[in-house]
């Protein structure tokens, strides 16, 4: 398994449109902490940027020997509102961006029955360019539950459409996320996102879900020993032989400066991913 750092570490939890530190600072920070890739989001580089700006972003990553593990090409997808699936109707700009950044994986969003057909069509266009599409385990989407995720993937029925396993969102929706879940996801597993954000009575952040309604929750540092059972997560990943990207996707929301958070999280994750 290889470590990737999402540029989300430099975003606030509530505002996904603005990065806190520029890429020319984030890239060397990531490399020095032991990450091998950046997971790109529109707060740093998206479909709203022109060709020269995209080329500059790729040059910064390349200069620090960082791949681009995945692209979230617009703001609609991570904001997860009604417009989230809009890119499925016109996937070409997202494909152009991923290709320009040298990535073969794009995160998308599905919310309705109609989106399933659009996802299959978008995947067909992506396949022509050797690019894959994936949906994160996420609240208020067709990928809230394990069963719903697998059913949706089967209905899309494209080899280049898969899932981004993310245990925190599964936990918030009342789902199990250990070995059994990973075995169910194995045929479709394209990426792993990790954050330590869990349901907790009297938690300070209320998450809205379709499955359970409003769920109080709390963020913990990855290495706190509280929250997500990372032994179960990595035990399940090792059981299925997963050897792809493991991406730190945690919004630290002022708990730690991004450089300290990225370094501490990498040190914590290496005990699971090394060897």
Rg of the chain over CA atoms, in angstroms?
Answer: 17
Measured between alpha carbons, how far is 131 from 87 in angstroms, rounded to an integer? 15
**pLDDT score of 223:** 87
Domain boundaries in the chain? 2-273
Q: Rounded to two decimals, what is the model's pTM?
A: 0.95
CA atoms in the 13 A half-sphere facing the CB of 42: 20
258-273 vs 230-239: helix crossing angle, rounded to 10: 50
Burial bucket for residue 192 (CB in 10 Å: 0-12, 13-18, 19+): buried
Question: What pLDDT sits at residue 161?
Answer: 98
Write the pLDDT tens digit of every residue in 163-202: 999 999 999 999 999 999 999 999 999 999 999 999 999 9
| Four-point Cα dihedral 101, 162, 118, 114, nearest 10 | -140
10-residue mean pLDDT series, the chain (275 residues): 90 61 88 95 95 96 98 96 97 98 98 98 98 98 98 98 98 98 98 95 95 95 92 97 93 66 89 84
pLDDT at position 19, please?
65
Residues 205-240 have pLDDT tens digits of 999 999 999 999 998 888 889 999 999 999 999 999
pLDDT of residue 73: 97
DSSP state of 112: S
CATH number, span 2-273? 3.20.20.150
CA-nearest of 32, 7, 34 to 21 is 7
- E runs forming strands in the chain: 2-6, 37-41, 67-72, 105-108, 132-136, 161-165, 189-194, 197-199, 205-209, 213-219, 245-248
**What pLDDT does 162 receive?**
98
State CA 112 to chain mean position distance: 20
């Amino acid at each position: 398994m290889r470590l990737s750092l999402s540029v989300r570490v430099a975003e606030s939890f509530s505002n996904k449109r603005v990065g806190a530190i520029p890429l020319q600072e984030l890239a060397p920070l990531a490399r020095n902490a032991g990450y091998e890739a950046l997971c790109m989001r529109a707060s740093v580089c998206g479909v709203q940027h022109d060709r020269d700006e995209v080329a500059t972003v790729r040059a910064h990553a390349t200069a620090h020997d960082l791949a681009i593990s995945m692209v979230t090409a617009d703001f609609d997808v991570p904001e997860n509102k009604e417009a989230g699936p809009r890119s499925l109707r016109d996937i070409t700009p997202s494909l152009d961006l991923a290709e320009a950044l040298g990535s073969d994986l794009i995160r998308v969003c599905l919310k309705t029955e109609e989106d399933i057909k659009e996802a299959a069509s978008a995947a067909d266009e992506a396949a022509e360019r050797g690019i894959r599409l994936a949906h994160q385990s996420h609240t208020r989407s067709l990928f809230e539950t394990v069963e719903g995720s697998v059913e949706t993937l089967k209905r899309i029925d494209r080899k280049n459409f898969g899932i981004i396993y993310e245990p925190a969102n599964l936990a918030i929706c009342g789902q199990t996320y250990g070995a059994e879940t990973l075995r169910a996801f194995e045929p479709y597993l394209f990426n792993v996102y990790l954050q330590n954000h869990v349901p907790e009575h009297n938690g300070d952040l209320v998450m809205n879900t379709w499955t359970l309604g409003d769920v109080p929750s709390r963020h913990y540092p990855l290495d706190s020993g509280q929250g997500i059972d990372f032994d179960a997560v990595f035990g399940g990943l090792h059981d299925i032989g997963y050897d792809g990207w493991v991406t730190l996707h945690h919004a630290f929301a002022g708990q730690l400066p991004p450089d300290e958070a990225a370094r501490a999280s990498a040190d914590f994750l290496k005990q699971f991913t090394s060897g």
